[in-house]
């Protein structure tokens, strides 16, 4: 049994079935996840500020961009929003994805996005946006159809191959690029959601490893080869639970 399989085994032994169980096991994880997921795309985010938001609900003497605080507060709110759904094993759906986006994006859209482009948190994009290497993802009028197909695919796989299905979901989600902004944060949150509703441990994609993360996603975009990204998720899971959480 390799280290990843050991991690999965221990997570299953914890038998997480209630929100209290989830809070116990993810007390430190949720802060580290929010910090790293946010910092991948926003270098102003700090661990100290993230921890203050999660533990105290406020930050004293902050002078940076207010969007940074909104993003991290939204991660905290999103965790609370998803807890009951995780323990209830609610399947992925279009509505769930839009709700996660709405929670994570509240108060973060700038004037150009909101007024000029008419974009709204929780709604699919209305325009084309570059993603990956000069790609625009699905066209706006194709987003819901493409996402519905993706959801059907991964829900059909279910508990048979949760890791592979989760890797495919995240890679394809980023390829579709359904929202005007924040697709990475939404995708990473939904990846962990998928893993947990299938009784697999969530993981942190560390900011320091984002180069490999982007390379693995790019490989999928160019070749539809998922092996590199699935291996990356395995490695990040082991790193998460041996480095920061201590199983």
pLDDT for residue 116:
47
pLDDT for residue 180:
83
pLDDT for residue 204:
98
pLDDT for residue 246:
47
Structural domains in the chain plus CATH codes: 3-121+137-244 (1.10.3290.10)
Sign of the dihedral through C-alpha 98, 23, 37, 54: positive
Establish whether 170 is a catalytic residue: no
Contacts of 177 (CB under 8 A, 6+ apart): 125, 129, 131, 135, 136, 137, 138, 183
What is the secondary structure of 25-68 as a DSSP string? HTTTHHHHHHHHHHHTT-TT--HHHHHHHHHHS--SS--S-HHH
Q: Which pLDDT tens digits describe the chain residue by residue (247 residues)?
A: 799 999 999 999 999 999 999 999 999 999 999 999 999 999 999 999 999 999 998 887 777 788 888 899 999 999 999 999 999 999 999 999 999 999 998 876 555 565 545 667 778 887 776 665 556 588 899 999 999 999 999 988 877 899 999 999 999 999 999 998 889 999 999 999 999 999 999 999 999 999 999 999 999 999 999 999 999 999 999 999 997 554 3
Query: Please, what's the b/e burial string for 204-235 (b: 16 or more CB within 10 A of its CB; e: otherwise)?
Result: bbbbebeebbeebbbbbbeeeebebbbebbbe
Q: At what angle do helices 66-87 and 183-197 cross, to 10 degrees?
A: 20
pLDDT for residue 202:
98
Contacts of 82 (CB under 8 A, 6+ apart): 100, 189, 193
- The reported pTM is 0.92
Of 65, 109, 104, 106, the closest CA to residue 190 belongs to 104
Catalytic residue among 127, 145, 170, 177: 177
Q: 135: which DSSP letter?
A: B
Phi, psi dihedral angles at 135 (to 5 degrees): -110, 160
Phi, psi dihedral angles at 172 (to 5 degrees): -70, -35
Of 173, 172, 247, the closest CA to residue 203 belongs to 247
pLDDT for residue 22:
97
């Amino acid at each position: 049994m390799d280290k990843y399989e050991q991690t999965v085994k221990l997570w299953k032994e914890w038998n997480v079935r209630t929100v209290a169980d989830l809070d116990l096991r993810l007390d430190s994880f949720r802060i580290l996840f929010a910090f790293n997921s946010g910092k991948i795309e926003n270098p102003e985010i700090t661990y100290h500020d993230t921890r203050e938001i999660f533990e105290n609900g406020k930050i004293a003497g902050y002078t940076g961009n207010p969007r940074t605080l909104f993003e991290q507060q939204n991660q905290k709110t999103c965790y609370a929003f998803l807890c009951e759904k995780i323990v209830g094993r609610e399947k992925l759906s279009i509505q769930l994805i839009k709700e996660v986006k709405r929670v994570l994006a509240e108060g973060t859209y700038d004037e150009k996005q909101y007024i000029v482009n008419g974009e709204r948190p929780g709604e699919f994009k209305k325009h084309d946006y570059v993603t990956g290497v000069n790609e625009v993802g699905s066209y706006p009028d194709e987003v819901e159809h493409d996402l519905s197909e993706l959801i059907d695919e991964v829900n059909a796989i279910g508990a048979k191959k949760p890791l592979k299905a989760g890797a495919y979901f995240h890679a394809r989600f980023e390829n579709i690029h359904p929202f005007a902004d924040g697709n990475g944060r939404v995708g990473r949150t939904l990846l962990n959601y998928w893993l947990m509703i299938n009784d697999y441990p969530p993981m942190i994609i560390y900011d320091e490893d984002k180069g490999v993360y982007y390379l693995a996603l790019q490989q999928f975009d160019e070749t539809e080869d998922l092996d590199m990204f699935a291996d990356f998720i395995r490695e990040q899971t082991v790193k998460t639970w041996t480095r920061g959480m201590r199983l």
